[in-house]
Structure formats: structure tokens, C-alpha cells
Structure 1
Amino acid sequence: MTTAPHSGKGLSRRNLFSLGGAAALTIAGGSSAALAGGLRGAGNVDWPGLRKALDGSLYLPGDPAYAQAALPYNSALGPRTPAAIAMVNGRTDIKRCLTRAAGHGIPIASRSGGHSYAGYSTPDGGLVIDVSRANKITFKDDGTVQIGAGARLSEVYAALAARGRALPGGSCPSVGIAGLTLGGGIGVLSRPYGLTCDHLTSAHVVTAGGELLRADAKRNADLFWALRGGGGGQGGVVTDLTFATVAAPTVTVFSLTFPTPATPAALSAWSQWIETAPKAISSVCHINSGTATDPSPRNRIVGTFVGTPSKLPPHLSTLIAAVGTDPTARTVKSYTYLGAMQHFAGKNTGREKFRAASRVLKGTLSTAQAQQVTDLMAARRGLVLLLDSLGGEVADLSPTDTAFVHRKALASVQIYTSSATGDPAVLAVQKALTPLTGPGSYVNYLNAGQNDWGSAYWGKNLTRLRKVVKKYDPDGVLDFAQNARNA
């Protein structure tokens, strides 16, 4: 399962944050003419037989629906040509895909929202098992909610809010719940409520061998551990996830912009402020590269506060005092839970073009270190650093309690550009940041060109995760370049 970045107008990921998610598989059905054109020879898979066996749809090249279904969310990745895309209706279809396509020499990938940063969920020449139709949301008598792996975050948040409940998660409305959760699930409410995966109580998984398993704290506990932060697309295909929820809170959203010359001070002050801020506050610090006419990096600090709105201003005053200058822009507004998530989503304009990578900030930045970051961004154009706060409830678990290893970090740092050719610049900034941040990276921000990806994504959890993945997928049926088995 993988995730990808999203932003948009206002406080959505295109301009401010980045998340993502991809964690399902799809197979596409093709016309007789297309099959006659040699597609049946792709790995010697019996595509007509698979199409006939599915309750859902199979798209093959030449089918009317194939071209749109084959597009990756990230348009910077260019066109993809999977051998087939299976739009599955549920667990039985997933099993049919795996048992019929495995062992035929083609890549098989799962896809839910399709936001894989590196496009791993839509492999060329492979079978995509797309679970986007498996999006049913069912509330249980015990207060939990079972969510189909293909449900989008916008659907999840709306359904929860209608019941007065909430789940912490990302800001991009079209991200799939499965991909977000499997990579951990950093979001705008992480500090008061933890990661999305911290609320997972169980999941159903079709293993690479076609076996349906339930994973929870007692059954297949090793798999349950891996599902919480190990990343998508590994070991099996998740069909649905069950979560414990919290009461939907009032969410106060704030935004502060400081004068451009104060950007280093704002970054350093923010890092020290968020380290000691109450759990009720989550925040993202944005450092934007300069322009051709003004190379000075700009700043913006946005965030959320869960609690009585009148209690937030003193905390913002503490941050402002630490920066040492008044903000040039300041907004504070309270929303319902659903209203806040819609605010951060901005305008969802469909597919996006971007390049991104990440680091994980271990601790606070001194004024001198913040100046180094600012100088680095002054030499760039069209880049933004998005520092998403961790800590709070995220840090209450041990780094080994789940596969998400960055429990004690201060923040994730996403390096993001909307330039389709910006990958070299993104990786150069990632390398330059490493002495300041540490070598960690967030698995939901995959970058295919990152050399240290195994240790960066999983750290000391890598050996255990690799063992779990090989146990449930011994033959590498769901293999891809940055699968933990290859690290």
C-alpha cells in the first residue's frame, strides 16, 4: 500500500500539505480484438477466463474504459500501460485475480486511491487490482466502523461526521483509506488522536496465495503489526479495515505568516514551540523557495486546535513571541470536524503533477540550523518544504509497537514540487537536509530514486517487516522495486 501527495487551494496538499494513499489492485477487461492482438500473451494469463470469472470488470488495452483507468494520479509519471486493470467487487474477485495471474511473470499491484507517489500501484505490463468499488462503510454496534479498502477520505469523513464520530487522517479527499492507513497516516489531527493506523482494530487481507485472513491483535498478529505503518502493496491485498473512532470535535484552524526576513526565526521557533505544545495542537510549517525576483524563502504556519477555541490564542502568542516579530497575516476560525477536513481539502481538481521525497526531523532546529534550511531553499525555485508535526499521541507508542518507526520524531518533512522534471532537485534537497534532520523518511512519500529507502522508511523495524512480508508472500507475487523484501 502506498500513498501520494495532494494539495490544492487554501490548505490542501497542492499548496500546503502532502499525503496519499494507494492500496488495492485492479484488472481491466479488453475487447475481443484487443485480445486477438496478442495481449493474451502478456505473461500467458488467460485474460478472457479472468474476465468471465470476475463479478467486477476487467479492462484491457483497447477497451473504452482502459485509458482513463490506466492513468496514475501523478501525471508527472507519464502514461502507464498495465496489461489489465481489474475493477474488483470484493474479496472473491481479489482472490480470483491473484490465483489466476500469479506465477505468470507479470507484476501484480493493488490500488485504492491510486496516489502512489512513485506510481507503483499502476505497473506497466502488470495486473492492477483496483479496489475502489469496495468502498462500503458500515457502523458496528460496538462503536467501530468497517470501511472498504477503496473508500476515499471524503467519503469516510462525511460518513463519520453524520454519526458524530471522527478519525484522524490526511487532507487530500481522493486518497484511499487503505493506502493512508497502511503507511501510518499522518494528518492534521495527529497530535491529539495519533496516526490513522493507531485506530485500526482489524483488517481482512487476501494473501498473495489467495487466502483470506483476518488480522488483529490476536489473529495473525504479525501481519496486523505490519499493516500499521509498513506501507501498501506488500504481502497481500487489504479488502476492508475496522477502526475505533473518537467523538467528532470542534476544530479551530489557524494560520500565521511572518515577514520574509523572519523565515529562519519562524522555522526555529516553530520547531521548539511544537515540541512542547499541548497535544491538542497539530501544525505544519511551510518553507517556500524564493522567486526569480525575490529569492528569499517565505513561511507559513498553519494548524489545528482541538478544544475550547478561547484557549488557543495564548499558545499562538507564545509562538509569536518566540519568532520575535508580529505576523503579517493571521487567521483563526473554528469549524465542525467535517468542516475542518473540507477546509483543508480545498478544491479537488483531479489528477496532479508533482515530484516529492521526504525526511523525518528528529528534533528541534537551532537558529543556525534553521538558517541553513532557509539558505538551501533560497538557492531553489518552485519547491516547498512541508513540516508536519508529530509528537503528542503519535509518540505515546513505542517505535516497535507498530511498523511505523518514527514515533519519537518531531515532524515529517516533505520536499515537494509541481514540476514534472523536478525529481533531481527534490533528491538534492533531501540529501542536503539529512545532516539536519536525520536519515528517516515517510513510506507514504515514496521516491523511486531514493538510495537509502529501506533504512529510511523502516529503520530498526526493517528486519521484522521483511520477515512478515516474505511469510505472507513467499514467492514475491506482489513484488515491486521498494517492497520491504528487496531492502
Structure 2
Amino acid sequence: MGDDGAAGTVFRCGDQRTRHSMITGSRACRCFHGRHEPPTTAYLGHRIHSGGFGQTARTTEPWCSSPSDEGPERLPDVGTQAAHGTCLQPTRRRRWVLWLAPLSCPLLHRGWALVTIDRFTVSSYTGAFMEDVTLYPRVRQDDAGPIEGKESASATPYGGQDVTNEGEWNSLEYRTTGSLFRAPSPKFYSLCESLNHRYSGRFPGGVLCAETETDIVEALAWCKKNKMRIVPRGGGHSYAGFSTAQDGLLVDTSKMRGVQVDVHAQTVTVGPGVRNSEVFQALQGTNLLLPGGRCPAVGVAGLVLGGGIGLATRQLGLTCDSLISTRVATSVGETLVCSSDQNYDLFWACRGGAGGNFGFNTSFTFRLHPVDTVTVYDLSWDWKEASTVLGSIAKLIDDETYKKVISCQFGLRTRGARVYAQGIFFGSAADARKALTVVTAAAKPNFEFVEERKIWPAMSYFYVEAGSDPYLSKSIVSNSALSEDTIQALVDDMNSWKERSVDSFASVSFFAMGGQDAEVSPTATAFVHRNAHFIVSMTAYWADSDSDSVSNANCEWLRSLYSKLSYRLGGAAFQNFPDPELVDWWTAYYGENYSRLVAIKNKYDPSRLFEYAQSIGNYPRV
């Protein structure tokens, strides 16, 4: 079986032409049609991890497929492994591929590692069928170039461009109570892994697992002294991999997960590493709700800083609308309490200005909302009803009677429940069924669940864990209603989807807006999208093991769909669904609020320690 990619053909076990060098510590064997032959002498200039980092696999005649379809060739002699991070440099400018397996690996899970080698570049990703494997190659920025479907690292994965000496790293470790990890520690690599595997391969200079606010303050001072970027990480769920650093210092807050609930005051205070699941657990048994997302592993910090939408947005507003105060450690050496009474400009920016822009938020205090019994609904239909169902849901969410009563996430998928609508009705089951009649009468569901529940059992019905396979996602924030023409164009495009692998699929999800969230002025907080009818998220998925041809085709399909829908619905986008391909992102995310956000950025982060591809002020430079 061949996987046709830009660099030539990759042959897997089962192909008659396949001979793969399989490296296991200091041993190697060749694989013919899935059968292992005795080990041969081996040479390969990579450091690999097998129980402990630092072993060097060596082969003299590793077999690989050539850039053409001529069958396996020998890899040129590239010399010995010198320091960690040394490139393989074939004598000719061409690509080679090797299959390596199996080793113990902190990053990859039960898969092959495909190594693509050109004159300056080595990159890897997982495949299928074998045990764990990893290798940590050096990638040269001057010749690496992006690989379609998988973001390419721009510098060495051994910690990025080291701008500090070992003494400085030691001083950071001495000044903080949290643990500091650097390559080649296996823990370092596991902490760097991106949830979206499209951005695997980004490695910072080090990872500090902060335990206290003081750790964060010390890290900021250290980064400022050493002119190094700092990247906060809570849940690590950035669609674009922005919570995974390339170079700089990654500060992991997973140990700062305290949750304090004040039932009488109806508030909750959380640390920067708290996930939705910890808030859910702390509020179980109460009738108090924090409007938030449905994914338990998502970090509350990223959720609120980008606005925050969920199952109660139309009833109770965005997550950021319930924010009372937040503590922010800044690059100028201050730790500030930000609220409606203190440092209001920064408080304004922290409600929709997105994370990692102005400072390091070390805690958040939210107002909770008393909610008793609600009604859960979950409906799905046959694909043939797609156009009818979307049209009837569009009428329901625009009905003034229900804008602050019913939440709704609806959409289309290429597999499973392909046409669906689900949400919470803030009222009785009888009233919920009455409201849903406009949809169920238009097309009879093949699955229908409507049930009254207490608020937290109702919320738990919708919990969904995010996957970790690679994907590309795009979003549109639309201020207009969903028209019949747009619906038909969407259905036609979904019909054009081709499943190019068993793990490929696509989804388009609509999040109804226009309720309590719209009662706030677009300039009252940094979240500008207050006139939205809905937010649409469109995503194409594939597997780590899929070939470049699969990922390329899936991405191109999604780009085409986005182009058609954005032409009809507008170019605004949701900052919590970041799209690294978005050209005019500052306008799409922030609209008229962007210039004010830049001014606040310049005030609180003049040295620009907080900077990434789509950070405030990064472009256009102001």
C-alpha cells in the first residue's frame, strides 16, 4: 500500500517492495510483509528515548523508499551523532523516509514514527500498527518549510534557540518552587505536546510547572531579563497551537488548580490551571451555575479570556460577562487586581481580548447564577432532512419568544448523527416540546430525547472530551440569519465530502447567540461580537497515521467550504476558535475594539514578552 505525498512514496508493511529499518534501542531488524528478520548492524544519527533518554540508535544500512517509485535505496553515510539535535544531512538534496519502531515514548501513543529526511530537515509523526516510538531531531529553520497538514517547527526541538546560558536556567529553577523541565527530559516532551497534533513539534527552551503566583512573577522577571518570550498554558486546547511554545519559556499551570466556592456570596474563585471539570465538580450539589463550555478538559482561563460560549450563553451571557475580578501579573513587574473598580482598562481587555496577550492571569473570580430545573433536549435526523431541519432551527433561534430561554447547538457531520440539534431549555419539558414543535413538525427526528433535570445533571449530559488527532478548524461569527441559499450551499458542500481514510471526517456546528449575550454593547468589553446571530465552527479531521495526501485534501476541502460560507455570512471570526490561516485576523476577532486593545497591550506589556502569531499588536504593528 503506498501513500503518495509531495516527497515521493512511503511503503508500509504489507507492500511487496517494503523493507523498513526498525530501530529498537541498539538493535535493528528488517520487516518483510510484517515479519521480523534477525537484527543487522545499524546506523542512524538520532538520539532516541527508550526507557531513558540518551541512547543512540546506529545502523549501517537502513532501508528506505526513494523519492521515486524505484524501491528502497541505502541512506548515505552521514557521520556519527555529535551533540543532541544534530541533523541528518544526506549528500544529495532529496528526501528519504524511514519507519522506526518500537520504543517507549512520552508523546506518541501506539504508533509508527515516519521520519522524513531532506538536506536539512528531519520531522516525525505517528502512524499505526506498532508500539510506542519517538525521536527528537533537529529542524533547521532556513530549510525546513511547512509540511501541509502538519505545522513544521521553526527551530530545534531541543529547546529552541537557546538565548540563555545554563547558569541562567539554573537561576530560574533556584528562584521558583515549581519544577523546571528541559530537553532531554522525557517529561519535557510530554508537557510540550499540543492537543491538536497538527502542531506537534513545537518545543520551548524550557517548561516551568508553576505552583504559586510567585513562581509566575519570578518567571516573568527572568524572561524579561533574558529577553525571552513567555507562554502561559492552562488547558492547552488552543485550536491553533498557540498554547504550545516554539522557543521561549512555557509556563504550565496544571498544578495551580484551586477552586473556592462561596455559596452565600454566590461566587467562585479559580486558579489559572483550573479546567471546566474542576468547576463542575465543585458546584455539584448546588443550584449555582457558571456559564461555560461543555468540554471538561478545557481551561477556564482560556475560555473566559476569549469570551466563553456554552450551553447557557443565551440565558446568562458569556463566561466573561460573569467575571467579577482577575489578578494579572504583568511584564513590568506588577501584580494587579483588575475589576470594575480597579485597573478597569485591563479588566476590559481580559473579557474577550484572548489569552496570552497582556499579562499572566493568576486567578479569576466569577459571579454564579442560581438555576434549578431545566430541560435537556437532543435530536437527530436522517441526512435527507438536512435542509429542512436547518431552516426550521434558523426560525426557532430567531424567535424573540425563545432567545433567552433556549440554547441550541446544531449542525451537520459526515458521520454518526449527521443532522443534529441539542441544548438546554430553561423551563419545563412540556414547554420545551412546544418550542421545539417548529422543528420536529417540519421533519420527524429519528432520535428524540427531552427530559427535565437539575442543572448539573443537565450540564453533564453534554460533556464531551476533545480529541487529540490533527485537525484544521475555521470559524465565522455571523450577524445575519441563516438563509435558505446558505443552507443549501452548505448541504451541497457536505455532500461533496470524501472519506479519504477511516479516521477522516468533517463537522459544521452552529452556536446560537443573540440572547443575554446581546444585551451588552460591543464596546463594553473586548468581546465585540455582541450582534451575532450565531457562531459557526467548521472542522476537518484526520489521524496521525494518515498520509499527507489525506490531510492536504481534507484541508483544501475545508478552505473551500470556508470561502463559500464567509462570502455569504461575513468575515468575522471567534477568537476562541483561532485560525492561523486567517489573513485579517485582528479585524475578524476584535473589530472596532482592536486599537484600544493595542493601547492596553503597549501599556502593560511594552517589552512584548507575551507574543505569538496572532497576539495583540503583533500585526499590524502599532
Q: TM-score, normalised by structure 1?
A: 0.87
Farther-moved stretch of structure 1 (400-409 vs 155-164):
155-164
The letter of the residue matching 2:270 is: I
Tell me, what secondary structure is at the counterpart of 1:188? coil
How far did 1:251 drift? 3.1
Shift of 1:162: 3.5
1:83 maps to 2:205: yes
Residue 303, structure 1, aligned to residue 303, structure 2: no
Tell me the equivalent position of 1:131: 253
Deviation, 1:257, is 2.1
Alignment of 1:100 with 2:222, yes or no, is yes
CA distance in 1, matches of 2:234, 2:403: 34
Instruction: Quote the offset at 1:353 in angstroms.
Output: 3.2
1:50-73 superposed Cα distances (whole Å, 9 cap, x missing partner): 011111111111224212111111
Tell me, yes or no, if the aligned pair for 2:159 and 2:204 is still in contact at 8 Å: no
Q: Distance in 2 between matches of 1:91 and 1:47?
A: 19
- Partner residue in 2 for 1:6: none
Deviation at 1:350, TM superposition (A): 6.5
Aligned to 1:282, the other structure's residue is in SS state: coil
The 8 Å contact of residues 40 and 47 in structure 1, kept in 2 or not, is answered as no
- Deviation per residue, 1:269-305 (Å, 9 max, x gap): 21221011241200011112479xxxxx942111111
1:198 shift after superposition: 0.5
Cα shift readout 1:392-411 (whole Å, capped 9, x = no counterpart): 11111111111111111111
Q: Distance in 1 between matches of 2:258 and 2:317?
A: 24
Using the TM superposition, name which of 354-363 and 38-47 deviates more: 38-47
Q: CA 1:64–1:362 in structure 2 vs 1: closer, same or farther (change >3 Å)?
A: same
Structure 1 residue 102: deviation in Å?
Answer: 2.1
Query: Does structure 1 residue 199 correspond to structure 2 residue 319?
Result: no
Counterpart code for 1:79? G
Match of 1:385 among 484, 508, 525: 508
For 1:225, give the aligned amino acid.
Answer: W
Q: Give yes or no for contact 1:268–1:364 (8 Å, CA) kept in 2.
A: no
Counterparts of 1:116 and 1:350, CA distance in 2: 12
State the partner residue of 1:246: 369
Which residue of the partner structure matches residue 28 of structure 1?
none
Selected match of 1:342 from 437, 440, 460: 460
Q: Distance in 1 between matches of 2:491 and 2:467?
A: 32
In the other structure, the counterpart of 1:272 is 395
SS at match of 1:43: coil
| Structure 1 counterpart of 2:310, one-letter code | G
Instruction: Kindly state the Cα deviation for residue 443 of structure 1 after the two structures are TM-superposed.
Output: 0.4
> Would the aligned equivalents of 1:161 and 1:248 in 2 still touch at CA under 8 Å?
no
Q: Is the 8 A contact 1:289 1:380 kept in 2?
A: yes
Matched, 1:332 2:450: yes
Count, aligned residues: 447
Residue in structure 2 matched with residue 460 of structure 1 by the alignment: 592
Which residue in the other structure is 2:187 paired with?
A: 65
- Where do 5+ consecutive residues of structure 2 fail to align? 1-51, 55-82, 85-157, 499-504, 544-550
For 1:310, give the aligned amino acid: A
RMSD between aligned alpha carbons?
2.3
Give the letter aligned to residue 313 of structure 2: S
Cα gap change, 1:350 to 1:319, in 2 (>3 Å): closer
Asked if residue 435 in structure 1 is aligned to residue 549 in structure 2, the reply is no
Q: 1:113 to 1:290 in 2, by over 3 A?
A: closer
Q: Shift of residue 134 of structure 1?
A: 1.2
Cα distance in structure 2, aligned partners of 1:300 and 1:248:
26
| 8 Å CA contact retained: 2:473, 2:538 | yes
Amino acid of the structure 1 residue aligned with 2:589: Y
1:315 to 435, 440, 453: 435
Alpha-carbon distance between aligned partners in 2 of 1:249 and 1:207, rounded to the nearest angstrom: 40
State whether residues 144 and 243 of structure 1, in contact with CA within 8 Å, keep that contact through their aligned partners in structure 2. yes
Could you give the per-residue CA deviations for residues 64-85 of structure 1, whole angstroms, max 9, x where no partner exists? 4212111111123223321111
Q: Point out which structure has higher relative CO (alpha carbons under 8 A, 6+ apart).
A: 1
Mapping for residues 128-277 of structure 1, pairs under 5 Å: 128-140=250-262, 142-276=265-399, 277=402
- Unaligned 5+ runs, structure 1: 1-30, 292-296
Deviation (angstroms), 1:352 = 4.2
- The more displaced of 38-47 and 275-284 is 38-47
Indicate if the aligned counterparts of 2:325 and 2:365 stay in contact, CA closer than 8 A. yes
Q: Which amino acid aligns with 2:587?
A: S
- Matched residue, 2:618: 486
Measured at CA, do residues 349 and 317 of structure 1 come closer, stay the same or move farther in structure 2, by a change above 3 Å? closer
Q: Distance in 2 between matches of 1:354 and 1:446?
A: 12
Q: Give the letter for the 2:215 counterpart.
A: D
1:267/1:228 CA distance change after superposition, 3 Å: same
CA–CA distance in 2 between the matches of 1:288 and 1:40? 39
- Helix, strand or coil for the counterpart of 1:67? helix
Cα contact 2:389–2:443 (8 A) shared by 1: no
Q: Percent identity?
A: 33
**CA displacement, residues 214-272 of structure 1 (integer Å, 9 cap, x when unaligned):** 11012111111111111111010100000000114323221222332221121122122
3-state SS of 1:365 partner: coil
Contact 1:427–1:450 (8 Å) recurs in 2: no
User: Which amino acid in structure 2 is aligned with residue 436 of structure 1?
Assistant: R
Measured after TM superposition, the shift of residue 425 of structure 1 is: 3.1
Q: Secondary structure at the match of 1:312?
A: helix
* Mapped partners of 2:307, 2:319: distance in 1: 6
Between 1:130-139 and 1:375-384, the stretch displaced more is 375-384
Deviation at 1:328, TM superposition (A): 2.4
Q: Secondary structure of 2:576's partner?
A: helix
One-letter amino acid matched to 2:459: M
Distance 1:163 1:269 in 2: 35
Aligned to 1:360: 477
